[in-house]
Structure 1
Amino acid sequence: MKVLWFAVTPSLYSENNTTHNGGGWIASLEKLIRRSSNIQLGVAFEHSDDYFKVEREDVVYYPINVWKSKALKLKRKLIYSTEEDLVVPACLKVISDFQPDVIHVFGSEWCYGLVAKYTNVPVVIHMQGSIPPYYNARFPAGYNESDLIRFNGFNIAKTLSQLLDNRNFRLRAEREERILRTCSNYMGRTAWDKNLIHLYNPSANYYYCGEALRDEFFFTDRIWRNSNNKKQFVLTTTISTPLYKGVDTILKTAKLLKDNITDDFEWRVFGVKDIAFHEWKTKIKAASCNVRLLGTLSAEELRDELLDSQIFIHPSYIDNSPNSVCEAQLLGIPVISTFVGGVPSLIEHMVTGVLVPANDPFSLAYQINHLVNNRQLAVKLGEEGRKVALGRHAPETVVRDLLNIYETLTNETGY
C-alpha cells in the first residue's frame, strides 16, 4: 500500500531537529511505519530545499519549496490566500507523482487538508490542535490586542507584524472550518477532538489512533522516583509562545506560592525565553518569583530535567492532547493540568493526575502545595498516569490502529 503523508515537520528528512524541545512525534511515527513491510511511504512537507523529491531508506520525501523569494514570503504574510494558492497546487503535483492509495494529512490547521477537494484518493486528517477554539482562547483573561500595541510603544513595525499575525490567525481558523466541513475522514484521540469534528461535520468518519511519542521518553529505564532530597522543590513546564499557553498563569501561581507558602521552590520553564510582555501585563517578574526560563532542549536533556522535578504543570487555556503532558506521564511524574480541551481524555482527576480550572492560579497553587506535602499521593498519581500512558502510546498499538485505518479507507473507497 502506498501512503502519502503531508506533514507539518520534515519528519526524518531532517534528523537534527531541535525545535519544540527536541523534535516531534511525526518522526517517531515514521520510525515505526518504516518497519511495516506492506507500506510504501511518501512524506511531503514545506522545506527550503529545491529538490522535488528525495528517496532515502525506502521513503520518498517531497520538500515543498514555493517561497523562493523575500517578496513571496512577504506576500504570504500580507495576503493570506497566497499560501493556499501556491502550496495546494504543489501538493497536487506530489500526489500525481507518488500515486498514493491513501493520503494522511497531519493537522487540520494547515492548508494540506484542502487537497481532499481535488483528488479521489481517500484523505484522512490526523487531528493535532484546532485553530477555531484556539483563536477563541487566544488572549488570557484581562488581555487584549490593545495591550500588545501599548507594550510595543513606538515600535510600529512590531505592532504591525503582530496585528497581521492576529488577522492571519483568524483567517487560519476560517480556513480550517472549511476543511473540517468538507473532508470526510478524521483520526484523533480525545473526546474533545471527536466532538469538534462532529460539530462541523456530523457525517464524517472518525477513527481513534494514539500518538507515537519520542523514544527518549517511551524506551527508557529512567523513571521518576521523587528522589529530589533538596529542601527546594522543583516544578517543570514545557510550553510554547502563544499567549493562550498560560505563561501568565505560571507567573501568578508562582507569586502566590512565594507570598503565601514558601520561597524554597524553582519553576523551570522550557520552550520559551522571552516573556517580557507577560511580565509587563501581570506586573510580575519571573526572577522575582523563582521562575527560570530555560529555552529549548534536546529530548534527552528535557527528559533529565523533568526527572529532577517534583511535579509537571500544564497551564494552558486550550489544548487537545499536549505531548508534553503525555511525556511527563510516561516518566511517571505527577501532572497537574488545566481542565481544557482534550486534556480530560489524558488525565482522570485524582487518579492519573490533577485537573484544575483554567485561569485559576489559586487552585493551582493549592494543588501544587498539596502534592508537595503528600508524597504518597504524588507517587500514586505518577504511577497510575504512567500505566495509562504506556498503554495509550504503545508503539505496536499505534501502528496496528493506523494500519487498520489505512485498510478501512482503501476498502471503503475501492482503492
Structure 2
Amino acid sequence: MNVLWIGAYPHYKFLQGHPVPWMTMLANQLASLPDISLTVVSYHSDISQDETIRLNGVTFVYLKVPDDKVDLLMGYSQRIKRMRAYLAEVEDGFDVLHIHGSEQQYQVMGAYTKLPTVLSVQGIVTEYLNYLPRKIDYRHASWRVAAYYEKKFLPHINHFICRTHWDTEHTLRLCPGAVVHQNWEPIRHEFYEPLNPRPNQATALLFVGGLNPIKGIRELLQVFDRLSQQGNFRLIITGAGNKIQLSALIRSYSLTNINLDRVEHRGQLNSSDLRATYEEAFCLVHPSYIDNSPNSICEAQLAGLPVVASDVGGVSSLITSGSTGLLTSLDVKSIADAVLTLWNNPALARSIADMARLVALQRHDAKQILQNTLKIYDAVMAAHSYA
C-alpha cells in the first residue's frame, strides 16, 4: 500500500517547533511494515528550495512556501496553490491520502484530490478561536483565516479519524453525514515507563503549557499563589517563555504570596528531560481553556503522574474524575482544592495514578493503534471504490 500523508511534520533541520509525536510515532510504525510505503509531504518557509529526503524508511518532501505572515496577507493562497499542484502531479502513485489536522489548510490542499482521503482531527479552529486573548495579535488574523477554510473545506472530506466526544461532535456538526472512525494516537516511548517509587512525597506542581494564556497560565499562577499560603510547594513550568517573562507575569497579577525561588521555568524540554521532570512532581496541573486530547495529559497518565485538569473540550474523554484524574472548573479555588486533595490524600493520588496508567496503556497501545489505522485505510479505500 502506497500511503501519502500531508501535514505539519517537523523538518529534520528545524526542530524548534512542536514535535507532533502523534505523527512521528505512527510514521515510524508504518515504515516498519514491509508492505507499506509512506511518503510525508509538508511545506516550509525556511528552506531555500523544495527538498526530498528518505529517513528511517520514510520519504519526506518539503515544499518551499512564503513566510507565514507574508502568505497570510494573501489568505494563505500560495501554500495552498503549491501543495495542490504537487498533489496533482503525484496522486496517481498512491493508494490513500491521510491529512493530519485542519488548522494549517491541509484539508484545503487535499480537497480535490482523486485519492481516497481521511483526515485526522487535531483541534477545531472554529472553537479555539473563541478563546484567544482579548489583546489583538497575529493569531487573531491567522486563526480567522484558518476557521474560514475549516468551515468551507472540511465538508469536502468524507472520512475522519476522531478520538474524543468533543472532536466527534464538532466534526459531525461541520460535516453532517461524514464517516467518523475512532482511533487514539501513539505516545512517545519514554512515557510508557512508570514513575519510580518515591520514599518522600514530591512537592512540585508541574505545568507544561509555557506562558500560553489559553493553556491557563494565569489560573495556574493564581492557584500557586493560593497554595503558597498553605504549604511549601514548588512550581515547575516547561514550554514557551523564560523565567524573566514569568517573573514579570507574576508581578503583573500582583501575586505577592509567590516566592520566586520556589518557581522554575525550564523552557522547552525534549521527551527524556520532561519524563525526568515527572520524578520531581506530585501532579500535573492542566487548567486549559480549550483542548481536545492534550498529549500532556496522556503522557502524564501513561507514566503514572496524577492529573488535575479543567473539564473543557474533549478532556473528559481522557479523565473520569476521581478515578483517572480530577476534573475542575476554571475557578481558581476549584483547581487549588483538587491539588490539595491529591496532596492531602497520598492513597487517593496513588490510586488515581495506577488507574490512569492502566487505562492509558490500553488507550495508547501502539500495536492496536497501528492495526486500527490500517483498517481505516482499507475502509476508506473500499468506500472510495464503491462510490
TM-score (ref. length: structure 2): 0.91
Aligned to 2:352: 381
CA shift in 2, pair 1:366/1:56, >3 Å = closer
Q: 1:384 to 1:15 in 2, by over 3 A?
A: farther
Corresponding residue number in structure 1 for 2:53: 54
For the pair 1:135 / 2:147, whether they are aligned, the reply is: no
Q: What's 1:366 paired with?
A: 337
C-alpha separation between the residues in 2 aligned to 1:279 and 1:17?
30
- Report the equivalent of 1:187: 161
Return 87-96 or 195-204, whichever deviates more: 87-96
In structure 2, relative to structure 1, the CA distance for the partners of 1:246 and 1:16 (3 Å cut) is same
Q: What's the CA shift for 1:289? A: 8.6
Q: Does the CA-based 8 Å contact 1:3-1:104 persist in structure 2?
A: yes
Residue in 1 that maps onto 2:255:
284
Q: Secondary structure at 1:177's aligned position in 2?
A: helix
Partner amino acid, structure 2, of 1:65: K
Aligned to 2:37: 40
Match of 2:71 among 72, 76, 80: 76
Counterpart position of 2:189:
215
In the TM superposition, 1:50-129 aligns within 5 A as 50-67=49-66, 74-77=69-72, 79-81=73-75, 83-94=76-87, 96-97=89-90, 99-129=93-123
- Alignment-mate amino acid for residue 255 of structure 1: D
Structure 1 residue 3 corresponds to structure 2 residue 14 = no
1:163 to 1:313, Cα distance in 2 relative to 1, 3 A: closer
Report the counterpart of residue 265 of structure 1 in structure 2: 233
CA distances 1:260-308 after superposition (whole Å, capped 9, x unpaired) = x12x111101102234674465233765494321111111110010122
Q: Go from structure 1 to structure 2 and tell me whether the alpha carbon gap of 1:195 and 1:23 turns closer, same or farther (over 3 Å shift).
A: closer
SS at match of 1:64: strand
Structure 1 position 326 matched with structure 2 position 298? yes
Distance 1:41 1:241, change over 3 A: farther
Deviations 1:133-156 (A, max 9, x none): 1111223xxxx22xxxxxxxxxxx
Residue 404 (structure 1) aligns with:
375
For the pair 1:352 / 2:328, whether they are aligned, the reply is: no
- Number of matched residues? 379
Question: 1-side partners of 2:261 and 2:55: how far apart?
Answer: 49
Relative contact order (C-alpha < 8 Å, sep 6+): which is higher? Answer: 1
Mapped to 2, the partners of 1:104 and 1:333 lie a distance apart of 33
C-alpha contact 1:312 1:334 (8 A) present in aligned 2 = yes
Partner of 1:309: 281
Q: 1:15 to 1:209 in 2, by over 3 A?
A: farther
Residue 91 of structure 1 and its aligned partner are, at CA, apart by 4.0
Which residue of 2 is the match for residue 25 of structure 1? 22
Rounded Cα–Cα distance in structure 2 between residues aligned with 1:329 and 1:283: 33
**How far has the Cα of 1:373 moved from its partner?**
1.1
2:147 corresponds in structure 1 to 173
C-alpha displacement at 1:314, in angstroms? Answer: 0.8
Structure 1 residue identity aligned to 2:52: K
User: Equivalent of 1:198, from 165, 172, 175?
Assistant: 172
Deviation digits for residues 364-392 of structure 1 (CA, Å, limit 9, x no counterpart): 11111111110000000000000010000
Structure-2 separation of matches of 1:129 and 1:19? 17
> Which runs of 5 or more structure 2 residues have no equivalent in the other structure?
none
Structure 2 equivalent of residue 151 of structure 1: none
Following the alignment from structure 1 to structure 2, what is the Cα–Cα distance between the partners of residues 321 and 113?
Answer: 20
Which consecutive unaligned segments of at least 5 residues does structure 1 have?
146-161
Q: State the AA in 2 paired with 1:180.
A: L
**Corresponding residue SS for 1:53:** strand
CA distance in 1, matches of 2:101, 2:313: 16
Structure 1's 342 and 15: CA in aligned 2 closer, same or farther, altered over 3 A?
farther
Once the two structures are superposed, what CA deviation does each residue of 1:17-47 show, in whole Å capped at 9, x if it has no partner?
4544x66231111111111222110001123
2: CA distance, partners of 1:277 / 1:116: 44
Contact 1:88–1:112, Cα closer than 8 Å, also in 2 = no
SS in 1 for 2:228: helix
| Structure 1 residues 298 and 58, CA gap change in structure 2 (3 angstroms) | closer
Distance 1:178 1:242 in 2: 28
CA contact (8 A) 1:3 1:103 kept: yes
Residues 195 and 278 of structure 2 are in contact (CA less than 8 Å); yes or no, is this contact kept in structure 1?
Answer: no
Whether the 8 Å contact between 2:65 and 2:82 is mirrored in structure 1 is no
Q: 2:213: which partner in 1? A: 243
Alpha carbons of structure 1 residues 95 and 270: separation in structure 2 relative to 1, 3 Å: farther
Which one is further off, 121-130 or 239-248? Answer: 239-248
Q: Would you say the 8 A contact 2:212–2:240 is kept in 1?
A: no
> For residues 76-121 of structure 1, what are the alpha-carbon distances to aligned partners after superposition, in whole Å with 9 as ceiling and x for unaligned?
24x151x233334334414522522111111111111013432121
Deviation string 1:325-362 (CA, Å, 9 cap, x unpaired) is 000001111111100101000000101110001x2110
Which AA in structure 1 matches 2:147? A
Contact between 2:247 and 2:260, CA under 8 Å: does it hold in 1? Answer: no
The two structures, once aligned, show a CA RMSD in angstroms of 2.3
